[in-house]
Amino acid sequence: MKKQNVSNIPADAASRRAAPAVICYPTYGLPHPDMANLERARTNLTKISEIIVPPRDARCFNVQKGHFFRINSIDGPQVGDLNIWSKTNLAEHFYAGKTRAIHGTHLSTGDRMWSSFPSMRPLATISHDTLDWYGWDDDGGSVHDVIGTRCDPYTAKLLSGIDYHHCCHSNLTRALSAHCQLDYAKAEPLVHDVLNVFMCTGFTKDTHQYFMKASPVRPGDFIEFFAETDLLCGLSACPGGDCSSEHSSDSATCHPLLVEVFDSDNAALDNFPYLPESQYRNACPNGSK
């Protein structure tokens, strides 16, 4: 929380505050996904696999380029924490911060999940979201955020003094470790800030602190993604359940999540404008000009 009125207020404070807000990353020049063709393709999907993510646990799954995957609410309201890596290079992963800077604090249909530097390309495009009706509520909250990192045992220890082992960070690390047969210590640094699937969040109007409220998700709801390269994904069913009260404990009611992977009518996607890795080339890697 930012302290105010500690320093002297300058005489021209009002005019300084009145400077116009400018969008940091205007999207006029952003290459857009071909949503019309995606919509055509998703009318003819064939399920090729599914996996249940148990409550307070995580699972990893592969999605081939050109396929779709859905995260479904099944037994009751439940939030999920999603990590995405390039299957062939785990150092390239979802970059929540830059995605937020480009698309805003919460994602929905048509938004892309951008990857880390130096690749910086879309790993996936959100192709459908049954919660897109929610919009923004009176608290300034919305669904599917890229502002909340992921619940983790270090912050829990710092704030509460507890040792809790089923935070999304730990769940994702264990799942990645098992899936890729990596030591826990090697897997942990590969876990990154998430897309908080189905989570309803925002910043309070007075202190601008991160808040959560009961997720509006209900069984039957889903968010669907189109894979723009071969992906390894990790999904944790958050110990916060619907995140209406608390996380990082065993007190919330939790439910499983269902992940389904689909093949598509590839003919409709023949001309999909997949983006290559960033074409920026550092001309002076040693700092010379």
User: Does 172 participate in binding Zn ion (rule CB under 5 A)?
Assistant: no
The distance of closest approach from Cβ of residue 239 to Zn ion in the complex, given in angstroms and rounded to an integer, is 6
- Token pair 């116009």 is found at 20
User: Does 96 participate in binding Zn ion (rule CB under 5 A)?
Assistant: no
Instruction: Please identify, using beta-carbon distances, which residue of 258 and 269 lies nearer to Zn ion.
Output: 258
Which of 58, 96, 168, 227 contacts Zn ion by CB under 5 A? 168
The distance of closest approach from Cβ of residue 167 to Zn ion in the complex, given in angstroms and rounded to an integer, is 6
The distance of closest approach from Cβ of residue 218 to Zn ion in the complex, given in angstroms and rounded to an integer, is 19
Binding string, residues 54-93; x marks residues near Zn ion by CB under 5 A:
---------------------------x------------
The distance of closest approach from Cβ of residue 247 to Zn ion in the complex, given in angstroms and rounded to an integer, is 5
Q: How many residues bind Zn ion (CB under 5 A)?
A: 4
d(CA 103, CA 101): 6
State which H helix or E strand residue 99 sits in.
Answer: helix 96-103
Strand-strand pairing, 46-53 and 195-203: unpaired
Contact predicate 71/63, CB 8 Å: no
Strand-strand pairing, 122-129 and 112-114: antiparallel
- Token pair 């009961």 is found at 214
The distance of closest approach from Cβ of residue 190 to Zn ion in the complex, given in angstroms and rounded to an integer, is 17
Query: Taking the CB of residue 171, how many other CB atoms lie within 10 A of it?
Result: 27
User: Does 200 participate in binding Zn ion (rule CB under 5 A)?
Assistant: no
Query: Taking the CB of residue 284, how many other CB atoms lie within 10 A of it?
Result: 7
Q: State which of positions 119-158 bind Zn ion (CB under 5 A).
A: 151
DSSP 149-182: ----HHHHHHHH----S-SHHHHHHHHHHHHHT-
Which residues lie near Zn ion (CB under 5 A)?
A: 81, 151, 168, 238
